[in-house]
Amino acid sequence: MKCNTGHWPNRSEIDASIIYADYYAVFIKFYSFVRLNVKTKIYMRNIFLSSLLTGIFYLPLFSGGLVQPHSPAPAEKDYVGYLFVYFLGNRVPQEAIHFAVSRDGFNYYALNGNQPALDSKEICSTGGVRDPHILRCEDGKGFYMVVTDMTSSKGWDSNRAMVLLKSGDLVNWTSSVVNIQQKYPGQEDLKRVWAPQTIYDHEAGKYLIYWSMKHGNGTDIIYYSYANEDFTDLETAPKQFFFPQNGKSCIDGDIVFKDSLYYMFYKTEGHGDGIKLATTQSLTSGKWNEKEGYKQLTQDAVEGSSVFKMNNTNTYILMYDVYRRGEFHFTKSEDLENFTRLEEEIFMNFRPRHGSIIPITRWELKRITDKWGKPEELGELPNNPALPGFHADPQIMYSRQTGKYYIYSTTCGQPGWSGWYFTVYSSDDLKEWKYENVMLDLKSDQVSWANGNAWAPTIEEKLIDGKYRYFFYFSGNSPENNRKQIGVATAGHPLGPFTDLGHPVITESPTGRGQQIDPDVFTDPVSGKTYLYWGNGYMAGAELNDDMVSLKKETLKILTPEGGTLQDYAYREGAHVFYRNGLYYFTWSVDDTGSPNYHVAYGTSRSPLGTIEVAKEPVILIQAPEKEIYGTGHHSVIQVPGTDEWYIVYHRINKHFLERSKGPGYHREVCIDRMEFNTDGTIQRIIPIN
């Protein structure tokens, strides 16, 4: 389809993508199962994905076998800031875990008035902790932190333990002390256990903890052990991890995994006191490629290096503690070998020592600022997107049965709109949304007539014979004719379980063109009758029979608003109908879903199947490039029960996927904004917000 920026591929052009999705799932199972070195596995993955996206990889022997999806880990596009975890100094009150936050990665503000986030006396054996390292779990659903169990007031050779901590929300933490000397034999001359860190070992499928130890008059050596499954203890005896060619002391290891290589930055303790780099393809192989020279861009002694990636960029930041000057320096690189100074100035309203930084989502940022206070300098926190990950075509419902709101949506992010399941989120207040489950899976036994392209759902709650029933209408691809059709599944609860009718209810276009997608269900509060609307390229509507799963065919009407352009109200898809103060509002999306110009227009009618009068100012929601908001469309509308408060729930293209090569049409995210009306009933232009 054409738009003012060129040709955006239409969803009907990519039906074969559902086949590729099958092959990709089979490959992922193979990839996860086979024990190969990391570089080989990643090479295989890249070759497969390249072939898949160019459409030349064909495996007719394989099909299906998809893994049931779970609660999604954060997508990088959902990161809106950074959490800095650090300690303050060498006095006992300063040897504690502190939190600070940043929106841009350059300006950091302490939480809790720069007081500890956790009480050292409650989590360790010495009364103080240092060198906190935080890691998001590999599945994205939790956090691990490890710290040195030590107070420097007792001497630099006084500690024998580390502390392992874990949290599901960054607020509530549990801890376990691991005393190396007490746990393992042969550690009688152990003098210190310093700066532990954690990384996921892709070959072993476990979390590897590495730290430096010194025995007797020997050198500081970096050791490793694997954490147990609960992350409460070490399950293997310490082994030497890094073997520097010069055999001299090294501490403060910090590892980043990038492009099949592990990059370890470490301090040359007592001989240069700077940051060096070594790389390996296999963490426990003992084979390291030591790079020449130092990586810090200062002549002063440094330690406590840590690397983090700037959100949605290819830039890495190497930061380190210039400990004799009481400063923290940041440098940048895209290859993790060549570093330059930042053009941006770094600001911190505190003076940190050795720490680490991770990216955080808006939900995580809100959670920790709710707990420890939001620094005034941080400004307003973002409100959108409302849901994490990639979702589109959101349908919102308020359930009288549960007193909650629910959002059902197209699962986005798969190439070519090839998603095959629907998820549901719930909320008590339209602000905080909880992932519930996958409520309908088109590749499972739930649905017999469709195998993919799970698009644009709609749902209606009905009280029938004293019991609540839910009717979920959706688009799916029929393998029999490779066409989009509309089906319905039913349940007794908003979360299911849902049972599909067993066959589609709409299979043909009443106009002879367009796709049978984008259903919308509406119950008229005046008559109590229920109607179904649908269509891509046209808008059709018909009354539903009392069974809610079949149409009164004699009522079917073509309702497509005539005229308009891509700049105002030319109908494309995504019809949605609601009622207010005697008027039936018909809203729809204009242009292609992959276009930044994709937007919402509306008109009104005096009946659910009446002629639509396009509004004089029909556009009510459109892109705001100055805010980096694009492609705002395919929506639903909700009225807060008992009020005249209305909200529009819609999707937009994530700003990092605007280029056509990145697939803007299937990298969309769900947002919620207030909808307001003028005194004459017209809808005010909605200003989309971040």
pLDDT in tens, 314-343: 999 999 999 888 888 999 999 999 999 998
Closest of 409, 407, 362 to residue 381, by C-alpha: 362
Q: Which two tokens stand for residue 464?
A: 């029938």
Architecture of domain 76-378: 5 Propeller (2.115)
Residue whose token pair is 């005046």: 526
Q: What is the pLDDT of residue 53?
A: 37
Peptide bond between residue 74 and the one before it cis (omega within 30 degrees of 0): no
In the annotation, is 393 catalytic?
Answer: yes
CA distance 224 to 16: 47
Q: Cis peptide leading into 497, omega within 30 of 0?
A: yes
Whether 573 is catalytic is: yes
Task: Name the CA radius of gyration of the chain, rounded.
Answer: 29
Q: Which pLDDT tens digit goes with each residue over 56-108?
A: 333 322 222 233 344 557 889 999 999 999 999 999 999 999 999 999 999 99
Nearest of 351, 379, 349, 346 to residue 365 by alpha carbon: 379
Which residues have a Cβ under 8 Å from the Cβ of 343 and sit 6 or more positions away? Answer: none
| pLDDT for residue 343 | 86
- Is residue 114 within 8 Å of 98, Cβ to Cβ? yes
pTM, entire model: 0.85
Question: 82: which 2 tokens?
Answer: 């950074």
The one catalytic residue among 254, 393, 543, 669: 393
Spot the catalytic one: 573, 592, 669, 673: 573
Query: Can you tell me which residue has the tokens 């970096």?
Result: 222
Looking up tokens 């006084």, which residue turns up?
Answer: 158
Q: Where are the beta strands (DSSP E) in 103-160?
A: 107-110, 129-136, 143-149
Note the CATH architecture for domain 391-675: 5 Propeller (2.115)
Residue 43, pLDDT score: 43
Q: Are 123 and 163 in contact (CB under 8 A)?
A: yes
* Phi, psi for residue 525 in degrees, rounded to 5: -70, -15
- Model confidence over 236-287: pLDDT tens digits? 999 999 999 999 999 999 999 999 999 999 999 889 889 999 999 999 999 9
3-class DSSP state for residue 584? Answer: strand
Contacts of 4 (CB under 8 A, 6+ apart): 566, 567, 597
Average pLDDT across the chain, whole number = 90
Q: Do domains 76-378 and 391-675 have the same CATH topology?
A: yes
Helices 17-33 and 38-54 meet at what angle, rounded to 10? 170
Residue 418: partners with Cβ closer than 8 Å, 6 or more residues away: 14, 17, 18, 20, 21, 452, 453
Q: Can you list the residues of the chain whose pLDDT is less than 50?
A: 1-70
- 444 exposed, middle or buried (CB, 10 Å; 0-12, 13-18, 19+)? middle
Q: Count how many Cα atoms sit within 13 Å of the Cα of residue 656 in the half-sphere of its side chain.
A: 13
Please give the helix or strand (H or E) that residue 473 lies within, else none.
Answer: strand 467-478
Q: How far apart are the first and last CA of the chain?
A: 29
pLDDT of the residue at 56? 33
pLDDT score at 72: 58
The per-residue pLDDT for 267 is 95
Q: Where are the domains of the chain?
A: 2-54, 76-378, 391-675
CA distances 363 to 74, 169, 369, 639, Å, are 10, 10, 10, 24
Q: How many Cβ atoms from other residues are within 10 Å of residue 316's Cβ?
A: 19
